[in-house]
Structure 1
Amino acid sequence: MSFFISDAVASAGAPAQGSPYSLIIMLVVFGLIFYFMILRPQQKRAKEHKKLMDSISKGDEVLTTGGLIGRVTKVAIPALSLLR
């Protein structure tokens, strides 16, 4: 048994060489997993949110994220005005 790192490294065999394509394949697989688990659902939610916001009109009753219920009095592009 060797207690010195230099002796332990010197006695070890040569490291195994993998295929250079294995790294590329692994990165592509992780990229696809990231796309289908993170980006795609986020794009879908954004599309549904935009569709919902486009369908709101004056007089609609809405429930905000904060829990307030209100009636839409004015529809503007970046925001909505609510009246209690």
Structure 2
Amino acid sequence: MLRIICVTVLLCAGGLVWAQDNGSSEKLTLSDCFIGDETAGVSVAAQCGRLTVPEDRRNPDGRSIELNVAVVNSDVETPKQDA
């Protein structure tokens, strides 16, 4: 259960960072993957990829880092409206 909570928190935090416009024109290519620990039965299907971004957004020509990105779709048949 703790793993599910940790994965959920990390995915939500990643979504907050993703929502900020960094002005980058780089495209993100996603492929099928699983997040979690399949051997422990705590795993979820996702779309994963890597995105290269500036280490310091104030210095876009400086060093860059690669971020692992995961998109997890909801399995709810009728999702609630966004607030």
* TM-score normalised by L of structure 2: 0.30
Greater share of strand residues, 1 or 2?
2
Relative contact order (alpha carbons < 8 A, sep ≥ 6): 1 or 2 greater?
2
The structure number with the bigger radius of gyration is: 1
Q: Normalising by the residue count of structure 1, what TM-score does the alignment of the two structures yield?
A: 0.29
Bigger helix fraction: 1
